[in-house]
Amino acid sequence: MTLAERYPLLHVPARWEWGGLDVQFSTEPPPDELVTNIHVVCFIRDRIILCRDDRDVWILPGGTRESGESIESCVIRELAEEAGAELAGPIRQFGAHYATTDRPEPYRPWQPHPHKAWLWCTAEVRLTDTPTNPKDAEQILEVGLFTLPEAVRRAGTDGHHIPELLQLAVELTRPND
């Protein structure tokens, strides 16, 4: 059975209306120049970190890449901002949502347009502080550490495909857990 058959909600083409985006998931890594957003499935041993924002949605830490920012620098910044965490192991890319927007301008002037990619990664992390919660970002109210089944249940508040994304991340990058 293929990954697309095992994770159909993740692999079906979708429309993300909030960004005027038509998206398609793939395990093929995107070219660096297409990556506008990076999100991380964070592990502390066999637990997964999720962050509850002020909309009462449980999200994976991550966000928009700044101009000239490397993937690693973006991950480090977003982990501090949203989870109060730092890297404790390597970043492992495991997939991306390739996107095409119908908006006339890019979200940020330095971003590729109209084609872009949301990069999905995993990393072992450690919680070191409270989220920094910059004023222009999501406001995180709670950081939780969950078993995979509980993370899957909570992550559904951020989109029907996120539970499958978590399961795939575990399958591809942590096969012995």
Spell out the domain ranges in the chain: 3-173
**Ramachandran sector of residue 159 (left: φ over 0; alpha: ψ -120 to 50; beta: rest):** left
User: Residue 20 is inside which H or E element, if any?
Assistant: none
pLDDT confidence tier of residue 175, bands split at 50, 70 and 90: low
Tokens 């966000």, residue located: 63
Q: What is the mean pLDDT of residues 28-51?
A: 97
Do the Cβ atoms of 147 and 45 come closer than 8 Å?
no
What share of the chain in percent tops pLDDT 90? 94
Q: Give the span between the Cα atoms of 19 and 69, in whole angstroms.
A: 22
Lowest mean pLDDT, pick from 71-75, 90-94, 122-126, 133-137? 133-137
Global confidence as pTM: 0.95
Q: Is 85 helix (H, G, I), strand (E, B) or coil?
A: strand
**pLDDT for res 176:** 65
| Tokens of residue 104, six digits | 């006339």
**pLDDT for res 137:** 84
Instruction: State in words which class domain 3-173 has.
Output: alpha beta
Q: Dihedrals φ, ψ of 130, to 5°?
A: -90, 155
Q: From residue 123, how far is each of 40, 94, 112 by CA, in Å?
A: 7, 11, 26
Q: Which residues are bridge partners to 96 per DSSP? A: 26, 119
Name the residue with higher pLDDT: 142 or 135: 142
List the one residue out of 9, 11, 20 whose CA is nearest residue 99.
20
Q: What is the mean pLDDT of residues 46-68?
A: 97
**pLDDT for res 125:** 98
Q: What is the mean pLDDT of residues 48-76?
A: 97
